[in-house]
Chains A and B, each alone.
Chain A
Amino acid sequence: MELNRRQILKYAALGASLPVTSSLLSACSSGDDAGGASDGTVKFEGWDYEANLVQQNLDRFRQQNSIKVDYTPITSAQYVQKVVAEFTGGGGPDALYVYDDSLAAWVEGGYLQPLDGMAGVDDVYAGIFPGNAEAMTYQGKKYGLPYYTDSNSLTYNAGILAKAGITKPPASLEELEAQALKIKNAGILEYPIGLPAQLSDTWWSWVWALVHGSNGNFFGTDQAPIMNSTDTVVKDVFAWLQQAANKSKVLDPASLQLLPVPVDNAMKAERYAYTIGARYAARDYNDPAKSKAAGMIKLALIPSLDGGVHGTVSNTRMYALAQDTDVKDNAFKLVTYLGGLDADKKPYTAKFWFMQRGLGFAYKSMAADPEVTASLKKFADPVVYAKLAEIARPRNVLTVPWYTEFEAELHKVVQQVLSNQTTPSAAVASLEQTATTLKKKFS
């Protein structure tokens, strides 16, 4: 067997002047991707959210198309690293999940191929919300079909609020703190607010939601950092967080040790009255089979510094096609089955996820689907739900290749703010410096 294109490409990309020995070695190796190509099996990878449901859906695809899919769920905490390692080594999947966070970097790395001109792609992009279409486009080319999208809400337990004599969710951050203090002082909960603030590789949506919620921005339109100059919202949000964690002590200090799932569990066990997160979580929180708080969980708009309604953040998760797939046709069929429209022009899998788990959808048509609206009513107020989608904005720095580095720094800085290791002004100054350095380094 001779060196295949994939390997040559990868070695070149790595600058792996892996000398003669390895060429010889790989010439002797059996070449484990050749086996996959011969019978058209699609190697498919995703992070491990509800892996069994994914498999169930893939079985249906296999029955319909008689295309084999070799599906590997990867622990979400290691998803990005593992996929990068595989692509680097030349053994990447044919089709895969992609975070909007990683899209720019993965296109730049040469892992993904554009879908422009392929069957049905333009229909999909015409049928989804513009924000989602934008999030899956990089340098004018379309790279993904939507898996799910969601925007962040203030999610609260109306039962706990009522016990403390509170009838309305807070509109401003000041009000949120006052309400939480009331709950705390009534002895109902020691820490009414919980947020997932453990360091990890996934984004901290709630920080972005708070900043967008007060109409703030970390970056200007040209992706220059403005959090320490023209935009004061970030600093004020940080100041509020620090106060809530250290002065009024309504924000649980244990947040620093919490990933999203433990926060979910705490909400279901009625150990928190408020959190900020994706809307779809409310479905689980309101499921009587899984949650003590079922029926009590409600969505609200993100409280802002001035009490006005300004916005929230949305994200897009997508299915993409690998640059070097040997089974492009089959892989594209799979990606279309998962993220696109079926023969009846219906987004089958997107609806499957909404009905099964309440994952938000990118398709405009689904909002009017009676089955969807009936299911939605069971876990959220459709008016608030739609309003959140309407005012949500994606992060405006996703197209820079250094986004991951910035997000990681943001986590550290916010942890320092929460644990009182820095001041809000020092925090935004350090963020600005990081962003400037990164921008220069990558220019």
Chain B
Amino acid sequence: MTVKVPLRYRIPWKKIVLYVLAIGFALYLVLPFYWIVAMSFMHEVDAISVPPHWIPSSPTLENYLGFVNPSESQALVGGRANEETPYSLRNSLIVATCTAVLNLALATFAAYSFSRLKFKGSQVLLVLYLITRMVPGIAIIIPFYLLMRSFGLLDTYLALILSYTTFALPITIWILKDFFRSVPRELEEAARVDRCGWFRTMWSVFLPVAAPGLVAAGVFAFMTAWNEFMFALFLTSTKAAKTIPVVAANFATDFNTQFTVMAAAGVLAVVPPLLLALIFQRKLVQGMAAGSVKG
């Protein structure tokens, strides 16, 4: 006969496993990033020392100040990457925000139709949207470049916003249509009884309830735009429109590489989208939730 161990003596295996896993994952996720954060506050000598300094021994802000007012040696790095960094952050912010907004506007209408209307060809259309995402960017970069050139849009925000919108649109439509389906129809019907017009119903009743889905889709579009490299490389050529990945790549491939400045640029490139993700953290999971349960 087995002896029943009194509850308070039982080893809480589940808790232990949980905490071990949580701490392991936390370290895995944060340590690589911590390393470039630490480096970004170091002098170059400390950053390349052996063994490494895990904590900056004499912390400095010079790598960050160099973006505003580059020293002579910093100015040479990466085809003026230093002086272009602040501009590229501004450009990335504008491009990513506009992409997110434009995406939501376009995707909301489309997604609404899939979630509320039964219509011929809806399944084909949904799959067609997704197929446009399966063609790799390199296949369309040349015709796209020519197209933007004939629109006179090279080296402008609009060229990037338009391309990223088309990149993100298929997925945002999928995220949104799933979420919209989880919004009860009764809401709109109630509003209609109150004689609200369709647009007012959408605006003041439907969309607020669908907010988590919109947040998830919006953040997704923002990230898509923020992270893209190849189209940005070819569609832009000056600090008027270059985005942060393009400038960051210059730090890597340049004649005069400095680990610390590169690290500082990397940190700056991560902070804005990270803040965005953190602010919307809870809604993000909620927003994806409805979508992933059922098609």
A residues near B, CB below 8 A?
A: 7, 11, 14, 16, 18, 22, 25-26, 29-32, 48-52, 72-78, 82, 85-86, 88-91, 200, 259-262, 265
* Cβ of A164 to closest chain B Cβ, rounded Å: 22
15 A-B pairs besides A30-B152, A77-B254, A82-B237 with CB distance below 8 A are: A29-B150, A29-B152, A32-B154, A48-B79, A48-B250, A48-B255, A49-B255, A51-B79, A75-B249, A76-B254, A76-B255, A82-B234, A86-B237, A89-B149, A90-B149
Chain A residues whose CB sits within 8 angstroms of the CB of B151 once the complex forms? 25, 29
Task: Please tell me if B256 contacts chain A, counting CB pairs below 8 Å.
Answer: yes
Contacts of B150 in A (CB 8 A): 7, 18, 22, 25-26, 29
List the 8 closest A-B pairs by CB distance, nearest first: A77-B253, A29-B152, A48-B79, A26-B150, A89-B149, A73-B79, A22-B150, A25-B150
Closest CB in chain B relative to A1 CB, distance in Å? 10
**CB distance B256 to A261 under 8 Å?**
yes
Is B182 in the interface zone, CB < 8 Å from A? Answer: no
Given the known interface contacts A48-B255, A89-B146, A261-B256, the answer about A75 and B250 at a Cβ–Cβ threshold of 8 Å is yes
Assuming the contacts A48-B255, A261-B254, A262-B257, asked whether A14 and B152 have C-beta atoms less than 8 A apart, the reply is: no
> In the complex, what's the smallest C-beta–C-beta distance from B153 to chain A, in angstroms?
8
Q: Does B277 contact A (CB under 8 A)?
A: no
CB proximity of A59 to chain B, nearest CB, Å: 15
A75 touches B79 (CB 8 A): yes
Q: How far is the CB of B141 from chain A (nearest CB, A)?
A: 8
**Residues of B with C-beta under 8 A to A30:** 152
| B129 interface residue (CB < 8 Å to A) | no
Contact present for A78 and B253 (CB under 8 Å): yes
Does B233 reach chain A (CB closer than 8 Å)?
yes
How far is it, in angstroms, between the C-alpha of A16 and the C-alpha of B150 when the chains are bound?
12
Q: Which of B78, B146, B147, B149 has a CB less than 8 Å from the CB of A75?
A: B78
Looking at B76, B150, B154, B237, the one whose CB has the most chain A CB atoms below 10 A away is B150
Q: At the interface, yes or no: B75 with Cβ under 8 Å from chain A?
A: yes
Q: CB within 8 Å of A: which of B25-73?
A: none
Measured between beta carbons, the chain A residues less than 8 angstroms from B250 are: 48, 75
Query: Counting chain A CB atoms within 10 Å of each CB, which of B80, B149, B233 scores highest?
Result: B149
- Whether B112 is near chain A, meaning CB under 8 Å from some CB there, is no
Say yes or no: is B142 at the interface (Cβ < 8 Å to chain A).
yes
Chain A hits for B145, CB < 8 A: 85, 88-89
> Within the assembled complex, what's the spacing in Å between the Cα atoms of A139 and B54?
59
